[in-house]
Structure 1
Amino acid sequence: MYQTLLVLHSWSRWFVLIFGLIAVYRAYVGYTGRRPFLSADNGMSAAFSGFMWLQVIIGLGLYFDLSAVGLHAMKQAGAMKDPIIRFFGMEHAVVMILAAVVAQVGRIAVKKTSDSTQKHRKALLYFGVALVLVLLMIPWGIWNPARPLFRF
Structure 2
Amino acid sequence: MYQTLLVLHSWSRWFVLIFGLIAVYRAYVGWTGRRPFVGADNGMSAAFSGFMWLQVLIGLGLYFGLSPWGLNAMKQAGAMKDPTARFFGMEHVVVMILAAVLAQVGRIAMKKATDSTLKHKKLFTYFGIALLLVLLMIPWGIWNPARPLFRF
Question: TM class, shorter-chain normalised?
Answer: over 0.9
Q: Which residue of 2 is the match for residue 125 of structure 1?
A: 125
Deviation at 1:148, TM superposition (A): 1.1
The answer (yes or no) to whether the contact 1:137–1:144 under 8 Å persists in 2 is: no
RMSD: 1.3
Structure 2: give runs of 5+ residues left out of the alignment.
Answer: none
Q: Which residue of 1 is the match for residue 33 of structure 2?
A: 33
> Percent identity among equivalent residues?
86
Change (3 A) 1:144 1:136: farther
Matched to 2:32, the amino acid is: T
Name segments (4+ residues, structure 1) moved above 4 Å.
141-146
Matched to 1:133, the amino acid is: L
User: TM-score, with normalisation over the residues of structure 2?
Assistant: 0.97
Q: Which residue of 2 is the match for residue 106 of structure 1?
A: 106
The answer (yes or no) to whether the contact 1:87–1:144 under 8 Å persists in 2 is: no
Distance 2:130 2:102 in 1: 6
User: TM-score, with normalisation over the residues of structure 1?
Assistant: 0.97
Structure 1: give runs of 5+ residues left out of the alignment.
Answer: none
Distance 1:33 1:140 in 2: 34
Distance 1:145 1:88 in 2: 17
Q: Which residue of 2 is the match for residue 11 of structure 1?
A: 11
Matched to 2:56, the amino acid is: V
Q: Mapping of 1:1-152 within 5 angstroms?
A: 1-141=1-141, 147-152=147-152
Deviation at 1:145, TM superposition (A): 8.9
Distance 1:145 1:86 in 2: 19
